[in-house]
Amino acid sequence: MATIHPLRMSQLYAPTLKEDPVDAEIASHRLLVRAAMIRKVASGVYSFLPLGFKSLQKLEQIVREEMEAIGSQELRMSIIQPAELWHESGRWSDYGPELFRLNDRHEHAFALAPTHEELITFLIRNELRSYRELPKSLFHITNKYRDEIRPRFGLLRGREFVMKDAYSFHATKESLQETYDEMAAAYGRICERLGLNYYPVEADSGQIGGKVTCEFMALADAGEAEIAHCTCGYAANTEVAEAHIRPLSHEAHEGAALSKIHTPIEGTIAALAAFLGIPEEATVKALSVKDPEGTMSVLFIPGDHELAEVKTNRAIPGFEFLTDDEMLKAGLVKGFMGPVGLPKGVRVVADISLKDTRRWVVGANEKDHHYVGAAQGSDFTVDVWADLALAQAGDCCSVCDEPLSFARGIEVGQVFQLGTKYSESMAAYFMDEDGFEKPFLMGCYGWGVTRSLAAVVEQHNDEGGIVWPMSIAPAEVAVLPLVMGDDAVEPTALTIAEELCALGIEVVIDDRFERAGVKFNDADLIGWPYQVIVGKRGLEAGAVEFKDRQSGEKQQLALDEAVVLIAAAVKDVRARYL
């Protein structure tokens, strides 16, 4: 085995920055750039510098190990993919403008892979043939390309990013479920090895189809997702979270019969509630939509809630909001819609939480007018009850009825049971036990490699910079000789660094002719888990300083014991991430 030497800062290409990049809104973006881990190339496109690349490779290796531990095999599929495959699955059109498309010199169309369901299905069809060869699980770690409408937050939402994607093929549902559960468990272990504080949450299967799915959310205020969770263990993306919204017992709901009130206000719930002197939750909010066939519906939700578009899409697949023009044509009065006296053919679709609210305060389908006391059953009927409202603070868990808590999260991974969506559309069949051809049952499992790297930094930083967990730090220990050229400091520091290396520790030595302050700042900014500070005065007393980046604690170690103690400390922390 080649001898391993310490990394030398004097040789390293690691141009750290004092200033924050102007476009950085969040800690991970700011710090990954300042600590010389990444550099922007274009919007949502980044290069990795040597230090960032070391962390990225370590992260990839953790993901790889966890995939291999559950019997998934690594391969490497191409990124450039013929359009024909995307036509077969129907996603050439479904994927929309997020798909990067290009033509070759013969005008043949290609896509840059945003994900690899098409290619893997193409790869195995006609070659994976018999139930006897199943299940199979394959993965790769490659760049993905998505022309995101809003690339932002550095590595969190890029247009070029690294994903680990695994795909599994099965003869039976039970087999698919088994692999899916193993993948979910592996994702939990990856989170733990990365030191991520996370939640597995119920989620929408979106673009990709399929019914059973779970997202892995790293908790962070910078996260774009919101999670509803409960002490009973229930956790879901708020896009799909079910909640018990308390039916409100307000006098407006029990009061007298239907009466029309002149409400000359801006058509907002806040204005209506203020005008009537009732809380917003005592009102009912209306939104108008159409389905792909053109059937119109007015949706009703509690006045203080927002519409959950993902849930609405389950109730009315492919729905779109009506434009002002369409509303006008349909005879719908914006800001004043209600279930009493809607134009013919417009359906009343209401959130399930309104079922127990007998009398509604709601629009009167007439400008500047609302109804109070509109009674379900007598004044109007609801055509469809559906779960439409976005869960929010104050709502209760649908499982145990305790109040839900809310947190923001970064989606670092997602596991799906795809079923036969791709095997059917792309004609990928196997022979079952009875000699019948059947489409494969498939699972797919995506992990955001570059995104999870940023998520780690998002959770592990302080005012000094990044605080890497040992598992993916670019090196484990930094040795800082405070005075280069000094005939005690420099050789002692070098010896410590070499000896630590010999004990299998990953070491960097800051052998630059820089002031101590510069070395301290860079070491904190880059975020080496441990620092060994070798100074003149310390050496005179026969000691070096050992600093734990995370706690900031410093201890003096006797020179003759330092290497052994430091190596033991590193190995101890390392073991916690295995």
Q: How far is the CB of 44 from Mg ion (least distance, A)?
A: 17
Looking at beta carbons only, is 227 or 508 nearer to Mg ion? 227
The site partner of 303 among Mg ion, ligand ATP, none (C-beta below 5 to 8 Å per kind) is none
Which runs of E-coded beta strand occur in 245-305?
Answer: 259-262, 284-290, 296-302
Contact 32, 460 (CB under 8 A): no
Phi, psi of 162, rounded to the nearest 5 degrees: -100, 130
Looking at beta carbons only, is 23 or 561 nearer to ligand ATP? 23
C-alpha angle with apex 417: 412 to 418, nearest 5 degrees? 110
> Which among 481, 487, 287 is positioned nearest to 390, based on CA atoms?
287
Q: How far is the CB of 115 from Mg ion (least distance, A)?
A: 10
Burial class of 568 by CB neighbour count within 10 A (0 to 12, 13 to 18, 19+): exposed
Q: How far is the CB of 146 from ligand ATP (least distance, A)?
A: 5
136: number of Cβ within 10 Å: 16
The site partner of 524 among ligand ATP, Mg ion, none (C-beta below 5 to 8 Å per kind) is none
Q: Does 81 bind Mg ion (CB under 5 A)?
A: no
Looking at beta carbons only, is 448 or 465 nearer to ligand ATP? 448
Q: How far is the CB of 145 from ligand ATP (least distance, A)?
A: 9
Q: How far is the CB of 151 from ligand ATP (least distance, A)?
A: 7
Q: Does 414 bind Mg ion (CB under 5 A)?
A: yes
- Contact region with Mg ion (CB under 5 A), list: 60-68, 295-303, 413-421, 499-507: 413-421
Q: How far is the CB of 152 from ligand ATP (least distance, A)?
A: 9
Looking at beta carbons only, is 281 or 411 nearer to ligand ATP? 411
Burial class of 377 by CB neighbour count within 10 A (0 to 12, 13 to 18, 19+): exposed
Q: How far is the CB of 414 from ligand ATP (least distance, A)?
A: 4
- Contact region with Mg ion (CB under 5 A), list: 184-192, 253-261, 322-330, 407-415: 407-415
578: number of Cβ within 10 Å: 10
Q: What gap in Å lies between CA 498 and CA 148, rounded to an integer?
A: 46
Looking at beta carbons only, is 43 or 61 nearer to ligand ATP? 43
Looking at beta carbons only, is 351 or 411 nearer to ligand ATP? 411
Q: What is the DSSP code string of 503-530?
A: TT--EEE--SS--HHHHHHHHHHHT-SE
Rounded to 10°, the helix 449-459/27-34 angle is: 100
Q: Does 115 bind Mg ion (CB under 5 A)?
A: no
Q: How far is the CB of 53 from ligand ATP (least distance, A)?
A: 17
Q: Does 398 bind Mg ion (CB under 5 A)?
A: no
The site partner of 290 among ligand ATP, Mg ion, none (C-beta below 5 to 8 Å per kind) is none
Closest CB to ligand ATP: residue number: 448
Phi, psi of 480, rounded to the nearest 5 degrees: -115, 95
User: What does the binding site for ligand ATP look like in residue numbers (CB under 6 A)?
Assistant: 115, 146, 148, 157-158, 161, 163, 411-414, 446, 448, 450-451
Which helix (H) or strand (E) segment is 225 a member of? strand 225-229
Q: What gap in Å lies between CA 553 and CA 546, rounded to an integer?
A: 8
Closest CB to Mg ion: residue number: 414
C-alpha angle with apex 449: 441 to 70, nearest 5 degrees? 45
The site partner of 412 among ligand ATP, Mg ion, none (C-beta below 5 to 8 Å per kind) is ligand ATP
Query: Which residues lie near Mg ion (CB under 5 A)?
Result: 414
